[in-house]
Amino acid sequence: MADTEIDSMADPLKTQDIVSTTGNDDTTSTTDLVSGDNNGNESGRKVKKIIRKKRRPARPQVDPAFITSEPPPQTGTIFNIWYNKWSGGDREDKVLSQTHAKGRCNVAKDSGFTRADGVAGSFFCLFFARGICPKGQDCLYLHRLPTIHDMFNPNVDCFGRDKFSDYRDDMGGVGSFMRQNRTVYVGRIHVTDDVEEVVARHFAEWGQVERIRVLNARGVAFITYTNEANAQFAKESMAHQSLDHDEVLNVRWATADPNPMAQAREARRIEEQAAEAIRRALPAEFVAEIEGRDPEARKRRKVLSSYGLDGYEAPDDVHFARGENAVNPLGRQGYEVEGAEERLMLEEAPPQSEGKEQQQDDTAVASAAGFLPSSTLAALGTGVVSVAVKPKKEASGPLVAYDSDDDEDED
């Protein structure tokens, strides 16, 4: 079903031929139509027609029967059920043992809505990124590319997997939460004359790329994305994939760039992010005045900060002060009511002498109505208190005829 909305700024018109098409994506089209009034006079009018179309569901990427659990080939003597590998025997060559991925994600055809679109904070489907998700629209994870609006905790990636404090020795796996890594390392690239164009074409599919550096002599490339979630998605999507040839790519996380220029560029990017956050928190007029984008702001500031004194211009700490005693009238807005309430409370408070007398009266009443009744208090006041002295005990005489066991033994 397609919802059609026609906006016109005239009386009810008789619209002639309106042709609407159907599709899967949200589209907005503006069409010039010839309309006529009730008298039959035709006039050219521009009618805006907005067609909102339902999003398409995500399709299954593979047949469920394609997912099978096969034991790995025996390369050792003992099978480890926790790592699903054989231990012992000859050590495998990691380069020669790399096999091509079973599937590849096609964002243009595979993306669509799933059950996760109705749940806030849902993660992205790892099998969708690898191109082997058999569930389609029934999947509980998102089937689309990450955007700048998808924010996750720094201790998990966009797929919901927990990060670690340090990277693995081979720079693979989920990654580390100690720093924000937006660069992926790609090895085993088949070097050609247009290798830079090939790398850019394949990796730009997974998000906005900020910078690409290709080392032709080594067959290695470094791709930096503007968003960390896109780098995580690209790492899983291009693992064990091929470019334009039959190579098997080795995609890992890139280490920190020791180049001073790269470090300065990263520090500048962090400062720009902080400045953008400050711009969004402050009013637009204040930001325009600080950055000097409003040529009339300086003149208005000079007139407003003079406060009727020729040649005087108040400093920033005086002009932008906020509070009840602010010199600038704009700075006192919102504080007059609070100040008036405080003054009213102070005026209505009783004098200090009256307060002391009231406190003494309250103390007397409290003592009169204490825990003990008045009869008991009167008996205690009239009674005579007698103090009895304990007689001294006479001291006993010295010990006589005291012998130890040792003396008896000697006798």
Q: pLDDT tens-digit profile of 115-128?
A: 999 999 999 999 99
- Predicted confidence at residue 335, as pLDDT, reads 66
**In the beta sheet, which residues pair with residue 184?**
223, 253
304 and 327 housed in the same domain: yes
- CA-CA distance, 220 to 213, in Å (whole number)? 9
Edge-first strand order for the sheet with 250-253 is 209-215, 220-225, 183-187, 250-253
- CA-CA distance, 205 to 225, in Å (whole number)? 11
8 Å CB contact between 192 and 206:
no
- CA-CA distance, 87 to 102, in Å (whole number)? 25
Query: Side-chain half-sphere of 273: how many Cα atoms within 13 Å?
Result: 9
239 and 196 housed in the same domain: yes
The model's pLDDT over 150-193, given as tens digits with 9 standing for 90+, comes to 989 999 999 999 999 999 998 999 999 998 999 999 999 999 99
CATH number at residue 195: 3.30.70.330
SS3 for 335? Answer: coil
Give the domain range for residue 124.
Answer: 57-67+75-144
63 and 138 housed in the same domain: yes
Query: Side-chain half-sphere of 302: how many Cα atoms within 13 Å?
Result: 7
Tell me if 156 is assigned to some domain.
no
47 and 109 housed in the same domain: no
49 and 79 housed in the same domain: no
Tell me if 272 is assigned to some domain.
no
The model's pLDDT over 322-333, given as tens digits with 9 standing for 90+, comes to 777 777 676 677
38 and 82 housed in the same domain: no
48 and 89 housed in the same domain: no
Q: Which of 342, 312, 314 is nearest to 328 (CA)?
A: 314
The pair of three-digit structure tokens given for residue 101, joined into one six-digit string: 């991925």
The model's pLDDT over 87-112, given as tens digits with 9 standing for 90+, comes to 776 655 555 457 889 899 999 999 99
Tell me if 225 is assigned to some domain.
yes
259 and 199 housed in the same domain: yes
Tell me if 344 is assigned to some domain.
no
Higher per-residue pLDDT: 338 or 319: 319
Tell me if 158 is assigned to some domain.
no
| Averaged pLDDT, 15-34 | 45
- Predicted confidence at residue 10, as pLDDT, reads 42
Band (208; pLDDT cuts 50, 70, 90): very high
- Predicted confidence at residue 12, as pLDDT, reads 41
Tell me if 205 is assigned to some domain.
yes
The pair of three-digit structure tokens given for residue 240, joined into one six-digit string: 């064990």
* Dihedral sign, Cα of residue 108, residue 110, residue 115, residue 120: negative
Q: How does 203-232 read in b/e, with b if 16+ C-beta sit within 10 Å?
A: beebbebbebebeeeebbbbbbbebbbbbb
Tell me if 402 is assigned to some domain.
no
Higher per-residue pLDDT: 8 or 406: 406
The pair of three-digit structure tokens given for residue 239, joined into one six-digit string: 């693992």
- Predicted confidence at residue 230, as pLDDT, reads 96
The position carrying tokens 């590998």 is 85
Query: Side-chain half-sphere of 298: how many Cα atoms within 13 Å?
Result: 5
Q: Which residues contact 183 (CB under 8 A, 6 or more apart)?
A: 222, 223, 224, 225, 231, 253, 254, 257
Q: Which residues contact 375 (CB under 8 A, 6 or more apart)?
A: none
84 and 23 housed in the same domain: no
38 and 62 housed in the same domain: no
CA triple 40-43-46, angle to 5 deg: 130
- Predicted confidence at residue 23, as pLDDT, reads 40
Question: Among residues 115, 144, 173, which one ends one of the domains?
Answer: 144
How much is the mean pLDDT over the chain?
Answer: 77
The model's pLDDT over 336-392, given as tens digits with 9 standing for 90+, comes to 655 556 665 666 655 555 555 556 655 554 555 555 666 676 766 666 556 566 677
- Predicted confidence at residue 359, as pLDDT, reads 60
Instruction: Provide the domain count of the chain.
Output: 4
CA triple 227-179-105, angle to 5 deg: 40
251 and 238 housed in the same domain: yes
Q: Which of 95, 257, 51, 71 is nearest to 188 (CA)?
A: 95
Q: Which segment, 39-43, 237-241, 310-314, is predicted with the most confidence on average?
A: 237-241
Count CB-CB contacts under 10 A for residue 236.
20
- Predicted confidence at residue 190, as pLDDT, reads 93
Tell me if 364 is assigned to some domain.
no
Q: How does 125-157 read in b/e, with b if 16+ C-beta sit within 10 Å?
A: bbbbbbbbbebbeebebbbbbbeeebebeeeeb
- Predicted confidence at residue 398, as pLDDT, reads 60
- CA-CA distance, 162 to 175, in Å (whole number)? 9
The pair of three-digit structure tokens given for residue 338, joined into one six-digit string: 């609070």
